[in-house]
Structure 1
Amino acid sequence: MNQTSELCTGNRILDSLPVAERKRVLHCCEDVTVLEGESIGFPHEVIHYVYFPIDCVVALMNQYEGLDESSFTLVGPEGSVGASLAVGIDTWQVRAKVFQGGHALWIPIQAFKHLLQHAPTLDRQVRMDAGNQVQCSRDALMCVKRHTLSQRLAGWLLMLSDRVGKKHMYASRQMLAEHLGASVASVARELTYLVRCRAVTDDNGHIEIKNRRSLRRVACRCFDRKSRLNRVRAAENGRRIDYAPSKRLDDASDRFVLFRLRHQNPAT
């Protein structure tokens, strides 16, 4: 096993660093377990650690004026949480809540600030990551106002699938409702719709994407914009994000999706 393989962490930002720089960074890292539903950051509180998810998923949540709190993006092994320190912001601007528990590497704030001065690749990567998250936050308000709940749910499931790296995932209706800023009844109705058009299956919260292409037809364009941001960052890292292949749309599924989108009003 070569030295590079031995230093692999499972986090794309850390694994993209040059070996010497990665050694320096990993020396300051500590493995931590985060639990589903745990909030690791609250608005206006001081950031104490920067997290680099390994197999967990963290939702960044914001509350816009006149709207319920909802998630505007998910961060998994491709990114970081708390990286706003790299652009001079040392307090949480949003709530960071663990959606899927698991492991992460964290770096104390003082050690992280010191690393940024001696690890130029890390500095560049986390700045890009922080910028992407800011852009997602800006786009989220327009998304909530302009797009239907079914469109947002479809995009959210696609994003979650990309973060966990598989088609199977667990997300109860209560969890989905909280992160989409909607009622459980509304989410249940829209999830049933996605099941009917054969895009997903749902077994008491155990969701599987059966037809990714069909799900993308339902999802709003915000998902495509977030995907482009991730591809740009992946290209910067010298990596390529591969999406799971999907089956060809059958006529019945295609007609049902198009009919629903044409006759559905945006959720309020």
Structure 2
Amino acid sequence: MPTTNSSTAVNRLIAALPGPERQRFMAGCEPITLTFGEMLAEPGTPLAHVYFPTESFLSLTTMMNKGSRLGVMLVGDEGMMGFSLLLGVDLPLLHASVLGPGQALRMETAPFCRELKRSAAWQHLLKRYLYVMLGQLAQAAACNRFHLLEARLARWLLLAQDRAHSDCFHVTHELLAQILGVRRVGITKAASMLQRRKLIRYHRGDIRILDRGGLEASACSCLRLDQSLYAQFLESTR
């Protein structure tokens, strides 16, 4: 995906709305800057806002034993945070934190729910988005069980690159280990293998994708399935 600049940054869910409804919805949104590590949602705490990343991206995680967390999915300008509201529930099941800092749009939950009830286009669009998320969750569960760590890491780095709209982003070995549910030494070994093959450059948490084609060849098949599912969803909204 090309790099996005602040003058043209959009959220693709909002952009898929018909013109008049998009303008009405945008009028109720507040542009904000999200910072790295900022917590946007926690299980058991009612949602105050929904978030639509434009340049930023979020990590959704679930709590495991002894306080560790497992990554569930990334959300960038293709999606939103607060999808439980589509089911009439304001208590999120997942932690949502900022992994890629940058711009986003947010709206308080009450006006969002009113807009959702008012707009058949929003209901149509977001039901399909929820369908895609369920498909990606199922695929992630299978991926974590059956695929090798190096292939899973390559897939995750490509998903992060797409949402960062940049070849460079920051994520530590420790955080990657938490997200992928493995020991830190496993991440170090897998990242070193990718670096020796000159697919990535990694230094003190700063990652640069050097060879996307090579990284795609190293990633597990889940990457293509994720991309195919979302492409079908986009086609259905046109």
Match in the other structure for 2:162: 162
Q: Alpha carbon RMSD of aligned pairs, Å? A: 2.3
Query: Which whole-Å deviations, capped at 9, do the CAs of 1:174-202 have from their partners, x for residues lacking one?
Result: 22222222222221111000011222122
Q: Distance in 2 between matches of 1:227 and 1:80?
A: 17
Match in the other structure for 1:266: none
Q: Distance in 2 between matches of 1:64 and 1:141?
A: 14
Q: Does 1:139 align with 2:139?
A: yes
Say which SS state the counterpart of residue 227 (structure 2) adopts: helix
Residue 83 of structure 1 and its aligned partner are, at CA, apart by 2.0
Count of residues in Structure 1 that have an aligned counterpart in Structure 2: 232
Q: More relative contact order in 1 or in 2 (CA 8 Å, sep 6+)?
A: 2
Q: Distance in 2 between matches of 1:175 and 1:79?
A: 22
Match in the other structure for 2:215: 215
Residue 39 of structure 1 and its aligned partner are, at CA, apart by 1.8
Match in the other structure for 1:86: 86
Residue 87 of structure 1 and its aligned partner are, at CA, apart by 2.6
1:19 alignment partner AA:
G
Q: TM-score, normalised by structure 1?
A: 0.79
2:31 alignment partner AA:
D
Contact kept in structure 1, 2:74 and 2:160, CA below 8 Å? yes
Q: TM-score, normalised by structure 2?
A: 0.88
Which structure's CA Rg is the greater one? 1
Residue 8 of structure 1 and its aligned partner are, at CA, apart by 6.7
Match in the other structure for 2:3: none
1:69 alignment partner AA:
R
Say which SS state the counterpart of residue 223 (structure 2) adopts: helix
Contact kept in structure 2, 1:74 and 1:160, CA below 8 Å? yes
Q: Aligned pair in 2 of structure 1 residues 192, 9: CA closer, same or farther (>3 Å)?
A: closer
Match in the other structure for 1:120: 120
2:149 alignment partner AA:
L
Say which SS state the counterpart of residue 163 (structure 2) adopts: helix
Query: Which whole-Å deviations, capped at 9, do the CAs of 1:141-172 have from their partners, x for residues lacking one?
Result: 22212112111111000100111122222222
1:152 alignment partner AA:
R
2:59 alignment partner AA:
A
Q: Distance in 1 between matches of 2:127 and 2:45?
A: 20
Contact kept in structure 2, 1:61 and 1:72, CA below 8 Å? yes
Contact kept in structure 1, 2:100 and 2:169, CA below 8 Å? no
Q: Distance in 2 between matches of 1:113 and 1:71?
A: 27
Residue 223 of structure 1 and its aligned partner are, at CA, apart by 1.6
Q: Distance in 1 between matches of 2:36 and 2:45?
A: 21
Q: Distance in 1 between matches of 2:211 and 2:182?
A: 25
Contact kept in structure 2, 1:54 and 1:77, CA below 8 Å? yes
Q: Does 1:197 align with 2:197?
A: yes
1:143 alignment partner AA:
C
Q: Distance in 2 between matches of 1:78 and 1:135?
A: 15
Contact kept in structure 1, 2:46 and 2:91, CA below 8 Å? yes
1:185 alignment partner AA:
V
Q: Distance in 1 between matches of 2:138 and 2:63?
A: 12
**Sequence identity of aligned pairs in percent?**
27
Query: Which whole-Å deviations, capped at 9, do the CAs of 1:91-123 have from their partners, x for residues lacking one?
Result: 101111211112211111110111012222222
Contact kept in structure 1, 2:199 and 2:211, CA below 8 Å? yes
Q: Distance in 1 between matches of 2:43 and 2:20?
A: 35
Contact kept in structure 2, 1:201 and 1:208, CA below 8 Å? yes
Q: Distance in 1 between matches of 2:66 and 2:141?
A: 11
Say which SS state the counterpart of residue 81 (structure 2) adopts: coil
1:226 alignment partner AA:
D
Which moves more between the two structures, 70-79 or 137-146? 137-146
Q: Aligned pair in 2 of structure 1 residues 140, 225: CA closer, same or farther (>3 Å)?
A: same
1:50 alignment partner AA:
V
Gaps of 5+ in 2: 1-6
Q: Aligned pair in 2 of structure 1 residues 138, 231: CA closer, same or farther (>3 Å)?
A: same
Say which SS state the counterpart of residue 169 (structure 1) adopts: strand
Gaps of 5+ in 1: 1-6, 239-268
1:98-109 alignment runs, 5 A limit: 98-109=98-109
Contact kept in structure 2, 1:56 and 1:76, CA below 8 Å? yes
